[in-house]
Structure 1
Amino acid sequence: MNMTIADTYEIAMGRWSRRLSRSFLDFVAAPSCGALVDVGCGTGSLTLAAATRYPNADIVGIDLMPDYLTDALRSSAPNVRFETGDASALPFADDSFDTSFSQLLLNDLDGPAGAVGEMVRVTRSNGRIAATVWDRVGGLTFIRLFLDVAALVAGTEGEELRARVFDVPYQNEDDLFDLWSDAGLEDVATTTLAVRMDFIDFDDYWQSLMGAHSLIRNFFANQPAEIAHEIQQATMRAYLGGKPDGRRSLVASALAVRGIVAA
């Protein structure tokens, strides 16, 4: 069976983004009714979590990649609709929503400030704007484990991979605070959220890793067979930690920010 983009994402990160959604919504503390938009909704983890938490709200999920928006997702909740669109040019009128939020998007955009500006534009006065991104440098243990091995085994090429994966605009709470403040938002607050990533065994870990980031997947696929084998074996030893193969639980952290649209 050929895997779709949505399938790959679900194996790699979907199960963890669903866990993150619950903690993120606690932090956002959006009103229980009104109109909400999930910008860069992907496979709908945050959108559907909001639909369950706020059954009386009207919720829109929007993503640039239509492959994420499957027929099953589109029909998954009565108070949700999904649209295809660009976070930097949202297809909504000014003041359309009471709350705008985004999960795991900003660090993958070329112009994050533009997307934040669009979220502000489509949100009413006194509405909430919030976002969360993985703490990629210090908080994604399962990726860091592999990248450190790659840097040791593959030398300069591995070190360059590690730098590229970690080279993101927002690496701490202060960076997100400044982004929100520069957008004119008030009562800005930040926090760090933590979830546990539970893997059944090393194979489960490896499948998730290879789907987590295209740079990682392409790097490993392009290694000579002997180097690829050495990297995988060294990563497995790090995962096992001297114990038999089996379940492991690794903590992942995410940075979150929220603010209020000025009256």
Structure 2
Amino acid sequence: MGQVVWQSGEAYEAYVGRWSRRVAETFVSWLDVPAGRRWLDVGCGTGALTARIRTTAAPREVVGVDRSTGFLASARTEGVPLCAGDAAALPLANDTFDVVVSGLALNFVGDPPSAVHEFARVAAPGGTVAAYVWDYADGMEMMQHFWTAALELDPAVIRGDSFPICHEDALANAWTAAGLRDVTTRRIEIPTVFAGFDDYWQPFLGGQGPAPSYVATRPEPDREALRSLLQSRLPIAPDGSIPLTAAAWAVRGTP
């Protein structure tokens, strides 16, 4: 399928960024970190989690790191220092942050275990290291409908979002292996209601993420066949909306 591209903030926002903000709301509330702490958001992307931290957690400081210069350029993170960097090799000092978080990024890191070790390295003793990832296996209805239809039309397709780290046990094991203590997990489920079929389908044409990257490789007749099959299968309400749900797995631990 080729390399997954993450560069355009606008395309990402239409695809899954808008839903990330809802997960971030529950995630930050679950962490329940006291005010006045220093936060690091690894894989900050367009700033969904960073914005939630700024508006509800009363931090002393928030720093964002992301390897995508395109995302950093479009990040909605006014007043937040941003830097380009790899999650598995953070350009930051040891024991620097009270809270290290990552939202929807670990599955796109080349070496997730190394990234979690880096999270633990830059976190201060007694602080918090936490993350969340989409539950692609069982919780992302928009993706499940897409890949089911794609596989029916193209039996040779390999689902592009089968990420090993996107499971409760895998997250807990990665946190424990990094030397983090008191590791706990939780599932976060949110509604993802699309205004209509175009609201669902158009983001898949943005070329970002596994499913849109797959669509970009298909000739026009194949794309149209996939579009038609999805339109016939999705649960469309009387008002034209498409009510689906999305779920993420969250994990936290203490250095």
On whether the aligned pair clears a TM of 0.5, the verdict is yes
> Is 25-34 or 117-126 further displaced after alignment?
25-34
The CA deviation string for residues 45-73 of structure 1, in whole angstroms up to 9 with x for no partner, is 00110000123421111111121123673
Unaligned 5+ runs, structure 2? 1-6
1:46 pairs with 2:49: yes
One-letter code of the match for 2:84?
T
Q: How far did residue 216 of structure 1 move?
A: 2.2
Aligned length: 249
Partner in structure 2 of residue 19 of structure 1:
22
Distance 1:10 1:105, change over 3 A: same
SS in 2 for 1:73: coil
Pairing 1:116-155 to 2, within 5 Å after superposition: 116-155=116-155
Partner in structure 1 of residue 232 of structure 2:
237
Pairing 1:199-210 to 2, within 5 Å after superposition: 199-210=194-205
1:252 pairs with 2:246: yes
The CA deviation string for residues 121-162 of structure 1, in whole angstroms up to 9 with x for no partner, is 111110100011000111110011011011111222x3x2x2
Structure whose alpha-carbon radius of gyration is higher:
1
Pairing 1:45-64 to 2, within 5 Å after superposition: 45-64=48-67
Identical residues among aligned pairs (%): 35
SS in 2 for 1:169: coil
Whole-angstrom CA distance in 2 between matches of 1:246 and 1:41: 34
TM-score relative to the length of structure 1: 0.88
RMSD between superposed Cα atoms in Å: 1.9
The CA deviation string for residues 15-64 of structure 1, in whole angstroms up to 9 with x for no partner, is 10111100111222222212110000000000110000123421111111
Determine if contact 1:154/1:227 at 8 Å carries over to the other structure.
Answer: no
SS in 2 for 1:69: helix
Unaligned 5+ runs, structure 1? none
The CA deviation string for residues 203-256 of structure 1, in whole angstroms up to 9 with x for no partner, is 010023334854322332333443322211010111245x55721221100011
Determine if contact 1:142/1:250 at 8 Å carries over to the other structure.
Answer: yes
TM-score relative to the length of structure 2: 0.91
> Is 250-259 or 83-92 further displaced after alignment?
83-92
Determine if contact 2:46/2:74 at 8 Å carries over to the other structure.
Answer: no
One-letter code of the match for 1:165?
D
Whole-angstrom CA distance in 1 between matches of 2:141 and 2:233: 11
**Alignment equivalent of 1:227, drawn from 222, 226, 233:** 222
